[in-house]
Amino acid sequence: MRARLILSDTTQFEGLSLGAMGTSIGEVVFNTAIMGYQEILTDPSYHFQLVAMTYPQIGNYGINPSDFESRRIYAAGFIIREYSPVVSHWQATRSLDEYLKYYDVVGISDIDTRQLTRHLRDHGAQMGMITTSDEPFEVLLERLKSGKQLVGRDLAEEVTTDENYDWPMDKESKHDRQPGFRVAVFDFGVKFSILRALYQHGCRLRVFPAHTPAGEVLEWNPDGIFLSNGPGDPEPVAYAVDTVRVLLGKKPIFGICLGHQILGLALGAKTTKLKFGHHGANHPVKYLPEAAVEITSQNHGFIVDADSLPRDEVEITHINLNDGTLEGFRHKTLPAFSVQYHPESAPGPRDSRYLFENFIREMKQFNA
């Protein structure tokens, strides 16, 4: 079946339907990773986005039970150049097409993703629609332009957990071990791989909904606070910013992605939207304290404005070597630090796993 990708600036691409039939609307972004489509599709940070993969062939290793980042697909739609119907992986349990259909996710293949990527680089990320409908172009375009927008919308509340839970949830996974640091995780769209990384570093985790007041979290008496990744614009998540202001100085705080932006806002900084965002597994970042370069996994459309940080209180620790944007900072006197990128990778390199060790060290020093 034929499918169409329509952008809000009236650009149109025609291709073949992939996954479910129907219509899906979201912000169109491109990801430069050559693998990891399963992790990308299930990352809650991609909620309300149509993800285009720049790698030309997708689907050859199918879907397996080990690489999920959540319990379902969060991407609003999927855009690829060529779909591989032949699955070749010893862990695969189903094909990509079957997986998209199971979760009723609309996709499109057989379009020129290089042309699409160049268009988004030149004109910026924008709202788009994937559809198998044969309705007139003008009707679909009007529906797209009159639909929900990303900026100003609180997407974190749409993906956060409904209630507290301990990680891992499977009791059989809680093998005997020495009690570790108690870490309260604010779920703005947390990835399983982040929870795994904290757990592997010996942390006992309790995950809290995004709206949880500071007092309720402190009643659990955690040794540290983790602010998770998540989708969309950080400014509408003002309730979390207020909560973090209360928690600053009371417990060590570590933030990633949206959590980094929320910490920045809590410290008085401002956030801005990037032209086309950073989405991929090959972004070079410089760690300023050691003059070291890390290759990082990234997924964000907004950043903390470095010039808006209170420089008498905050030290910049990481910068992006592609465009010079802020990638990390730490407070000079309080135990609080964050990075914009994803040290847990999944998919991507593991150059930055030391940040989890830094968090452990902060908790040791604070609780000594």
The residue from 69, 257, 283, 362 that is catalytic is 257
Residue 269 has, within 13 A of its CA and on its CB side, a CA count of 30
Question: Are residues 301 and 284 in contact, defined by beta-carbon separation less than 8 angstroms?
Answer: no
Cis-peptide into 136, omega within 30 deg: no
The residue from 27, 39, 69, 344 that is catalytic is 344
First to last CA, the chain: 63
Q: Residues 197, 198, 202, 207: is their CA dihedral positive or negative? A: negative
Neighbour order of strands in the sheet with 314-320: 165-167, 204-209, 182-187, 224-227, 253-256, 336-339, 326-331, 314-320, 271-287, 292-304
| Structure-derived torsion over alpha carbons of residues 114, 118, 120, 122, reported in degrees to the nearest 10 | 180
Question: Are residues 277 and 301 in contact, defined by beta-carbon separation less than 8 angstroms?
Answer: yes
219 is catalytic: no
203 is catalytic: no
Contacts of 44 (CB under 8 A, 6+ apart): 69, 70, 74, 159, 189, 190, 191, 229, 230, 231
The residue from 69, 294, 342, 362 that is catalytic is 342
Q: What are the structure tokens assigned to 301, written together?
A: 């459309």
Residue 235, judged by CB atoms within 10 A of its CB (0-12, 13-18, 19+), counts as middle
φ and ψ of 22, to 5 deg: 135, -155
315 is catalytic: no
In angstroms, what CA-CA distances link 219 with 41, 80, 166, 224, 262? 35, 47, 15, 13, 22
Question: Are residues 100 and 71 in contact, defined by beta-carbon separation less than 8 angstroms?
Answer: no
Beta bridge partners, 318, equal: 287, 328
Active-site residues: which are they?
257, 342, 344
